């Protein structure tokens, strides 16, 4: 569109199409729908456990039975998918819980697929929650996070999720070559049809703070800047996404979402792949906190924020508010 095209119509009055709710509805370009929503869930061992996460009001660490309740509520509200994170009972230096056949996520997947077969179960594939040191890969003596040895564990984790019945696996570790490693391992084990949703452009971000309380996955030393991306780099994000697609990603993600809408826009425009925006923990917590103070209208701000992600090109919205949003869309 050029300025010229407006200039050619001197009688153009944009307010003509803003006169009434029906008129505005007719010409609305972008829409939010429950179909696009994914609800993250944190699951840990136990019974009747709903452990509140203080920095994320309304979000809990859930035992499998309570997770099922939460998943069912979301599903009933119209949310088509959940994204599972596990908090293991014990952590070690090789993330054993991440690929244990009877690990917490593997159990949760089996339960969800048995009780709610139509709800899509996406599993986050990473090692940080299961590592004693909290990093997303194997750490060598001097504290360096090793790339290639970590791939084997990540691939094992993905295969174990597939065996449990997961519908989609979502690697979030940011090791180089992990999408290929997962694809090869899944194919070798007969899971040729298992889609990979890659956290392709994942930035090292202070917006993950509340999540690390929720998942008990804060790194015990250092930070994640040697594997997650520098928030200043947009060109590099495009290379990361291109690489993941070449390696076999079926869907790609930009994370965080709100502070990276330009990346989201470029990724969708350039690659045209199914693109997910992860509206991360602090994006949720900031809205909740300001709303609790009475400073903003929670519902309106949440909807406007998620709509901005749709406008930027997101097909899929991962948000802790998914169930609320789905209900709001109906009322």
Residues that bind Zn ion (CB under 5 A): 126, 128, 136
Task: Tell me the window of 103-111, 124-132, 151-159, 244-252 that interacts with ligand PBG (CB under 6 A).
Answer: 124-132
Active site residue 202: yes
Site for ligand PBG in 266-295 (CB under 6 A): 280-281
CA 53 to chain centre: 18
Nearest to 185 by CA among 145, 157, 146: 157
**208 touching ligand PBG, by CB under 6 A:** yes
Catalytic residue (one of 113, 114, 255, 330): 255
Integer Cα distance of 30 and 52 in angstroms: 34
Q: How far is the CB of 255 from ligand PBG (least distance, A)?
A: 7
H helix intervals, the chain:
3-7, 21-27, 64-77, 104-115, 148-164, 178-188, 209-215, 234-247, 261-271, 281-292, 298-312, 322-330
Q: Which of 66, 70, 124, 240 binds ligand PBG (CB under 6 A)?
A: 124
Q: Report the partner that residue 208 touches, choosing among Zn ion, ligand PBG, none (CB closer than 5 to 8 A by kind).
A: ligand PBG
The smaller minimum CB distance to ligand PBG, of residues 119 and 280, is found at 280
Can you name the residues that pair with 83 across neighbouring β-strands? 40, 122
Name the region of 313 (left: φ>0; alpha: ψ -120 to 50; beta: rest).
left
Instruction: Say how many residues make up the chain.
Output: 331
Q: Which of 60, 203, 211, 260 binds ligand PBG (CB under 6 A)?
A: 211
Q: Report the partner that residue 41 touches, choosing among Zn ion, ligand PBG, none (CB closer than 5 to 8 A by kind).
A: none
Distances (CA, A) of 27 to 13, 308, 328: 14, 17, 21
Q: Which of 34, 37, 100, 128 binds ligand PBG (CB under 6 A)?
A: 128
Q: Write out the H or E segment, with its range, that includes residue 37.
A: strand 37-44
Q: Report the partner that residue 124 touches, choosing among ligand PBG, Zn ion, none (CB closer than 5 to 8 A by kind).
A: ligand PBG
Integer Cα distance of 273 and 270 in angstroms: 9
Distant-in-sequence, close-in-space partners of 191: CB < 8 Å, separation ≥ 6? 159, 162
Task: Tell me the window of 2-10, 151-159, 206-214, 259-267 that interacts with ligand PBG (CB under 6 A).
Answer: 206-214
The smaller minimum CB distance to ligand PBG, of residues 207 and 273, is found at 207
**Could you say which DSSP state residue 239 is in?**
H
| Residues classed as catalytic | 202, 255
Q: Where does this chain bind ligand PBG (CB under 6 A)?
A: 124, 126, 128, 136, 172, 208, 211-212, 224, 280-281
């Amino acid at each position: 569109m050029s300025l010229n095209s407006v200039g050619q119509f001197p009688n153009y009055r944009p307010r003509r199409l803003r006169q009434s709710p029906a008129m505005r509805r007719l010409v609305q370009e972008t829409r939010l729908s429950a179909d696009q929503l994914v609800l993250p869930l944190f699951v840990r061992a136990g019974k009747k456990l709903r452990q509140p996460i203080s920095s994320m009001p309304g979000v809990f660490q859930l035992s499998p039975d309570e997770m099922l309740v939460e998943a069912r509520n979301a599903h009933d509200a119209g949310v088509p998918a959940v994204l599972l994170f596990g908090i293991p009972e014990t952590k070690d230096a090789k993330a054993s819980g991440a690929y244990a056949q009877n690990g917490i996520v593997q159990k949760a997947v089996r339960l969800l697929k048995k009780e709610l077969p139509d709800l899509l179960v996406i599993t986050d594939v990473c090692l940080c929650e299961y590592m004693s040191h909290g990093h997303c890969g194997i750490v060598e003596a001097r504290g360096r996070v090793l790339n290639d040895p970590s791939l084997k564990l990540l691939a094992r984790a993905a295969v174990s999720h597939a065996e449990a019945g997961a519908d989609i696996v979502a690697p979030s570790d940011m090791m180089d070559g992990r999408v290929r490693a997962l694809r090869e391992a899944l194919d070798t084990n007969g899971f040729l049809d298992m889609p990979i949703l890659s956290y392709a452009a994942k930035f090292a971000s202070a917006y993950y703070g509340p999540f690390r309380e929720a998942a008990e996955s804060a790194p015990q030393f250092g930070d994640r800047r040697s594997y997650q991306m520098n928030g200043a780099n947009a060109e590099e994000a495009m290379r990361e996404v291109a690489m993941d697609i070449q390696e076999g990603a079926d869907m790609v993600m930009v994370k965080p979402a709100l502070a990276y809408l330009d990346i989201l826009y470029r990724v969708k425009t350039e690659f045209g792949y199914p693109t997910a925006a992860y509206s991360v923990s602090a994006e949720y917590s900031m809205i909740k906190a300001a709303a609790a103070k009475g400073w903003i209208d929670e519902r309106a701000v949440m909807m406007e924020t998620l709509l901005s992600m749709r406008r930027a090109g997101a097909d899929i919205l991962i948000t802790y508010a998914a169930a609320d949003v789905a209900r709001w869309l109906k009322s």
